[in-house]
Structure 1
Amino acid sequence: MKFSWVNHSTTPMKVRTLLSEHGVTRTLLKKVKFHGGAILVNDQPVLAIHMLYGGERVTMVTPAEVANEHLAVSPLPIHILYEDRDFLILNKPAGVASVPAHALPDNTLANRVKGYYRERGYANEVVHIATRLDKDTSGIVLFAKHRFAHGIIDHQLKAHTMRKMYLAVVDGVLTTDHGWFDQPIGRAADSFVKRAVTPDGKPSLTEYWVVKRLGNKTVVRVRLHSGRTHQIRVHFAAAGHPLLGDDLYGGPLDQGIQRQALHCMQLQFDDPFLSRTLTIFAPLPADIAHLIETTGSKVD
């Protein structure tokens, strides 16, 4: 693949400096240098230390990527919310794992994406999953379509500039319209899977807004300011308001939903390839919509 930029600076700089300013990592530069890529200035091959003085067109040609032969191909469908040359954004249904595991080897979202790439005849079948959701959480999952895009997203995730918004239905009534949970999260002492608020856990920050109060339940919008495993589920459970249907964290199981009532509804990030902010929405799944519509009549 080819990516090009015009150097608008009149201050002398090396090519690698300009590339770095556009999100090209040292790791990617090594791939370009040693695995069949190229760097061009005004269509002439150069090294990364080549000096620029202003007005040049710099092109990076990335080498071909080799797909993981151990990732099986699935013909099962995917729900596409957005796709372009660089990104594929899907609406994941509840009950589908994001990536393969021992018990779920070949019907995950990653397997389906590889099947979709193959069906469409894409030259690059490497599956770069950039964001993930728990198996029983529905909503937006972002795939990068090449290693450069994946690196861009990784940087935004680490810098906490990506905005992910969730909708959840929790047990009990939250009396505060807007609040925060600022508690460290680590592994629960008695489980390999379960997480808990622990003194020696990693810093974790969750922000929420009340959308509706329905009887003894509350619909909330949630934003993650960190990305810990089960973060939303753990924080609300620790506050005495577990998600409806969340068996692992003590949520009530008699409310008409067979999984945790959690949906990733919005994703916003900077797309440097199109020089714009991209905002994607995922419609509410039927089970959560039904839960909200049929639960009580008191709405604040």
Structure 2
Amino acid sequence: MRYSFTSKVTRSTTVKRWLAEQGVSHRLFKKMLADHLIWVDGQASGNGPVEAGQIIRFEIPTSKTLTPEFAPLEVIYEDANWLIVSKPAGLTSVPGPHTPNSSLLNRIAGYLVEQKIDAPQPAIMTRLDRDTVGLVLAAKHPYAQGRFDQAHQRTLTKHYLAVVSGKLPSPKGEIDAPLKLAADGIHRIVAADGQAALTKYRVLKEKT
């Protein structure tokens, strides 16, 4: 089973332009085109003109590049397009060189396979580090991922509870320091050539 969607056109345009406005990326559109997974009013279609009132139906192509992992997955919320799952400590969010077939993403793929989705292509939208425990938002398919990237990426805020050693200079403040990947390929460190990172913190409790 593939994910399938319909969209009613409201003005004169082309299939590609209309779907792009709905959140279909250029890359996804090319795959759908190559696999003949676009229909206009029930007829197979390419990137042709469309008029107001016509119905475009499209399906998400399958991909076998992600190995499903059939392991426990704690689902906190689910709808037709999204999953919110709880990531345990010690599990990476996405596959890496040392764990190409075992990650939270692989487990989500396994979960979707069990729901009869053919060769699913989920995407982690809010990654957490391997040793971090918390909620992760995942798109079930590339169309949901594209809509998120188009509309919501810059409005997302993450909140963490952390245990730190030492004493912070004040009970509330900001840490503005660039971060980059450490030599072990897992942890991150403060470095002048890292990516900009701003952390706002507030001390909740101190151990005496």
Instruction: Establish whether TM, by shorter chain, passes 0.5.
Output: yes
Give the drift of 1:97. Answer: 2.4
| Greater percentage in strand | 1
Checking the alignment, whether the CA contact within 8 Å between 1:186 and 1:195 is kept in structure 2 is yes
Aligned length: 205
Q: Counterpart amino acid of 1:148?
A: Y
Equivalents in 2 of 1:169, 1:78: separation in Å? 25
Checking the alignment, whether the CA contact within 8 Å between 1:39 and 1:48 is kept in structure 2 is no
**3-state SS, counterpart of residue 65 of structure 2:** coil
Checking the alignment, whether the CA contact within 8 Å between 1:14 and 1:51 is kept in structure 2 is yes
Checking the alignment, whether the CA contact within 8 Å between 2:60 and 2:141 is kept in structure 1 is no
Checking the alignment, whether the CA contact within 8 Å between 1:6 and 1:58 is kept in structure 2 is yes
Residue 174 of structure 2 is aligned with which of 170, 173, 180? 180
Give the drift of 1:3. Answer: 1.9
1:11-50 paired onto structure 2 within 5 Å: 12-40=12-40, 42-50=41-49
1:131 has 2:126 as partner: yes
Give the drift of 1:98. Answer: 2.3
**3-state SS, counterpart of residue 162 of structure 2:** strand
Counterpart of 1:7 in structure 2 is 9
Give the drift of 1:161. Answer: 2.4
**3-state SS, counterpart of residue 105 of structure 2:** helix
Equivalents in 2 of 1:155, 1:28: separation in Å? 14
1:108 has 2:103 as partner: yes
1:1-300 paired onto structure 2 within 5 Å: 1-9=3-11, 12-40=12-40, 42-52=41-51, 54=52, 56-68=53-65, 71=67, 73-74=69-70, 76-155=71-150, 159-171=153-165, 172-173=167-168, 175-177=170-172, 179-188=173-182, 192-208=185-201, 210=202, 212-215=204-207
Equivalents in 2 of 1:193, 1:94: separation in Å? 13
Cα distance, 1:15–1:122 mapped onto 2, change above 3 Å: closer
**3-state SS, counterpart of residue 17 of structure 1:** helix
Equivalents in 2 of 1:107, 1:38: separation in Å? 33
Equivalents in 2 of 1:174, 1:30: separation in Å? 53
Q: Counterpart amino acid of 2:49?
A: H
Choose 1 or 2 for highest CA Rg: 1
Checking the alignment, whether the CA contact within 8 Å between 2:69 and 2:101 is kept in structure 1 is yes
Q: Percent identity?
A: 32
Cα distance, 1:207–1:58 mapped onto 2, change above 3 Å: farther
Question: Structure 2 regions of 5+ residues with no counterpart?
Answer: none
Give the drift of 1:14. Answer: 3.0
Cα distance, 1:191–1:78 mapped onto 2, change above 3 Å: closer
Give the drift of 1:156. Answer: 5.3
Q: Which has the higher contact order (CA 8 A, sep 6+)?
A: 2
Q: Counterpart amino acid of 1:85?
A: A
Give the drift of 1:137. Answer: 0.3
Equivalents in 1 of 2:68, 2:42: separation in Å? 39
Question: Structure 1 regions of 5+ residues with no counterpart?
Answer: 217-300
